[in-house]
Amino acid sequence: MKLSTASFFSVLLFSTLPALRVCAQSAQSFNLVQESSGSTFFDKWDFAPNDATFDQENNGDVFFNTKDQVSNAADGQKLAFINSNGNAVLRVDNFTNVLFPNKRNSTRITSQTQFGIGSLIITDMLHIPFGCAVWPSFWTKGANWPQDGEIDIIEGVNKNPQNQMALHATAGCMHSQITDLTLQSGKAGELNCNATGNVGCTVQETQPNSFGQSFAQNGGGVFATQFDSSGFSIWFWPRANVPASIKGSDSKSPISISDFGTPSASFPNTADGCDIPKFFDAQTLVIETTLCGDWAGAVYLDSGCATGPAPTSTAPGTQPTDVAKTACYNQQVLGPASAFDNAFFEIQWLRVYAAPNTPAATATGGSNSSTGSPTTASGSSQNTGKAPGAAIQIDVPLGLATFAA
């Protein structure tokens, strides 16, 4: 593991202050570190660094707009804005007839601050992007991937009805087998969090209305993620079940997690689990929507979204997932823009809290300028990116031109 300043600090905390792991439990209250809401929602986030930023991390068929592009777009064509209800909207272009070989515009924002062990991240959303080819995610990543870890809090593709949560780390981080439903209500999939070898360790939400159209129709809900040396917990509450502590909180009040109940996903730091401080460094928050690519595209032909036969290719080395990704691009990204009317986040607020007496929870942001910068078409050492859902990773950036119909 690369010894960045922050990771050194985590290791130090872990090795010298073990008592914190014990007391960092539910009875205490967490103090607000940062809030994004209302007209200043986007102030502490970065957009794409330049207008050639395509989704190289996931081989998605989108260009991410820069802050200037978003600001300068005509009314009705802004991909990020604060709506009349004071909520932040981040969306995919649903007004341009995109022509081959272009990609569709979308949005990706990354937090300017990194949040370490001891953090509690809570967001209240009314709408998560959904639809064919659509792949939204709210996730976090360390400065180096996968050495510093990745947490997927909200993620899904195409017509998936449920949210999927996951961790990605280097080899040696496992998800403990949890059968006690009072510890984790979700359904575990892959248990090996090894990012190199597989899809990461996944947990499927089992409560209804966690994703897609039903999430929006049900009035949305709240997601909370606790990043603790004793483990990660991710909670989801549909609108009617949001706990009193959250409903009663505002941008100033500390918050207690004693009424949070059973998390949807729990990744404990146990002997058969994951040594969290070893595998996870301070995390940059990311909210983005991509199209097709390594997950939504790779599974497209089996997603119930295909509108015609897959393209055929005799090009040597063509993989089935390449064919699926191309079908996704041809049939959806180039298709009518109205297919993306539901491809938007509407976020009421996002708050980050820190447990008391956990110095590592102090935001480390600002000092490390390379941390959390979105990938660019020009490529950089950070462009190893994430591998959220695809079992097979094939590098086909801009390769769609090779066998479009």
Ligand X SMILES: *[C@@H]1O[C@H](CO)[C@@H](O)[C@H](O)[C@H]1NC(C)=O
Burial class (CB in 10 A: 0-12, 13-18, 19+), 132: buried
What is the separation of C-alpha 397 from the centre of its chain, rounded to a whole number of angstroms?
A: 21
**CB-closest chain residue to ligand X:** 197
Residue 344 makes contact with ligand X by CB under 6 A:
yes
Residue of 57, 150, 205, 346 marked active site: 150
191 binds ligand X (CB under 6 A): no
Q: Is 155 among the residues known to form the active site?
A: yes
Output 65 or 160, the one with its CB closest to ligand X: 65
Q: How far is the CB of 172 from ligand X (least distance, A)?
A: 6
Using the rule CB under 6 A, is 68 a contact of ligand X?
A: no
Q: Which of 7, 53, 56, 69 binds ligand X (CB under 6 A)?
A: 69
From candidates 26, 96, 270, 380, binder to ligand X by CB under 6 A: 96
Q: Residue 34 or 170: which CB sits closer to ligand X?
A: 170
Among 7, 59, 94, 269, binds ligand X (CB under 6 A): 94
Nearest distance in Å: CB 316, ligand X: 24
The reply to whether 83 sits near ligand X by the rule CB under 6 A is no
Contact region with ligand X (CB under 6 A), list: 30-38, 80-88, 177-185, 337-345? 337-345
Given the complex with ligand X, which of 6 and 334 has the nearer CB atom? 334
98 binds ligand X (CB under 6 A): yes
Span of 62-70, 111-119, 219-227, 310-318 interacting with ligand X by CB under 6 A = 62-70
Given 18, 86, 197, 379, the residue binding ligand X (CB under 6 A):
197
Least separation in angstroms between CB 91 and ligand X: 6
For the question of residue 205 being annotated catalytic, the response is: no
Chain residues in the site for ligand X (CB under 6 A): 63, 65, 69, 73, 93-96, 98, 102, 105, 171-172, 192, 194, 196-197, 338, 341, 344
Q: Which residues are catalytic?
A: 150, 155
